[in-house]
Amino acid sequence: GFDKMASIHITADWPYFTRRRAYMREQHGDPSNPPMEISPAIFQVIREHGPRSSIDFKRKDMVDWSWGKPTRLARASLEILNAMGELLIHHRVGTRRVFDLTERLLPTELISALDPNETEKDYQNWHVFRRVGGLGLASPNASEYWGAILGVNTEIRRATLKRLVDSGDLMAVAVDGVPRQTFFIRMADLPVIEAVQKKRSPRARAVFIAPLDNLLWDRNLVRRIFNFDYVWEIYKPEVERKYGYYVLPVIYGDRFVARVD
C-alpha cells in the first residue's frame, strides 16, 4: 500500500485508506488517461489467467512517469490500478510485483467496509496521530515525513496536533539539549519511555539500521539528538558520495557509533 511512502500495512487498515484511493482515482482515473484506456484489457488477462506483472504484458508503448523517466504503459496501468485499490500485490518475484484483483485477495466485508473516518477532520486526526506513532518523537515542522496526509499543510497540521493534545491522545514534550523546540509523542508511548529510562544498564548490542527505518525519518532530529549526520547516498551522484551507495548507520547501545557500506 501507500502511507507515508510505499509501505506494507495490515489489511485491517484498508478502510482507513478509502480517501487515498479516491484521491488517486481523481488524479489518474480519467478514462482518457492512456494507462486507464488499456485497463479493461489488463483486467481481462488477470481475471482469466491469474496474477500478472508488468513483464507479462508485451506492448512497448511508453508514457512519462516518475523519477523523470518514461515507463511502459502496461506498468503505468498496473501501478495506477494498484494505487486506486483495484489491484493488490499477490506476490513478488525478486523485487518485481505480481498483481491480482483486489476482490480475490481481500474479504468482501473489508472491501465494502465504510471509511471509519466520517469527516475530513476525523481523517486528519487519524492520519496525523498515526504518523506521530510512526515517528515516535515528532517535530511539527514541515518535512518529508509529514507527506501523503491528504489536505494537511503546515497550518492544518499544527492545528491538528493541538487538537490531539487537547483530546489527550498526544503530549507536547521538550528534549534536553534541543532548545526552543516542542515535540509530540503519543500518550500511549509514555509507559514505554519511562520503562526504558528506569532500566539501569541495558545490555548493549550492535544494530544495523535500514535507511528507511522510522528511526531515520527525521534526519534533522537524529543530528541534533545523537549528533549523527546521516544521508542515504543511493540517490547521490557517485562523485558526491562520502561513504558509499548504501551506507547504513550502526547503533551500539543507545548511540550511533559507525557506518557500513
Binding residues for DNA (CB under 7 A): 5-7, 53-55, 60, 66-69, 71-72, 74-75, 79, 93-97, 141-142, 144, 153-155, 211-212, 219, 230-232, 234-238, 245
Q: Judged by CB, which is closer to DNA: 181, or 192?
A: 181
CB of 199 to DNA, least distance (A): 30
CA–CA gap between residue 14 and residue 94 (Å, rounded): 25
CB of 109 to DNA, least distance (A): 27
Q: Judged by CB, which is closer to DNA: 54, or 160?
A: 54
**DSSP code per residue over 5-27:** SB----GGGGGGGHHHHHHHHHH
CB of 195 to DNA, least distance (A): 29
Note whether 114 and 104 are within 8 A (CB). Answer: no
Going through the chain in order, the beta strands assigned E by DSSP cover 62-64, 70-72, 87-93, 96-101, 170-175, 178-186, 206-208, 248-252, 255-260
CA–CA gap between residue 17 and residue 123 (Å, rounded): 9
Q: Give the DSSP letter of residue 156.
A: H
- Tell me the chain's radius of gyration from C-alpha atoms: 22
Q: Judged by CB, which is closer to DNA: 202, or 235?
A: 235
CB-CB neighbours of 161 under 10 Å: 21
Q: Judged by CB, which is closer to DNA: 69, or 205?
A: 69
CB of 73 to DNA, least distance (A): 10
Q: Judged by CB, which is closer to DNA: 168, or 179?
A: 179
Contacts of 23 (CB under 8 A, 6+ apart): 150
CB of 168 to DNA, least distance (A): 25
CB of 53 to DNA, least distance (A): 6
Q: Judged by CB, which is closer to DNA: 97, or 131?
A: 97
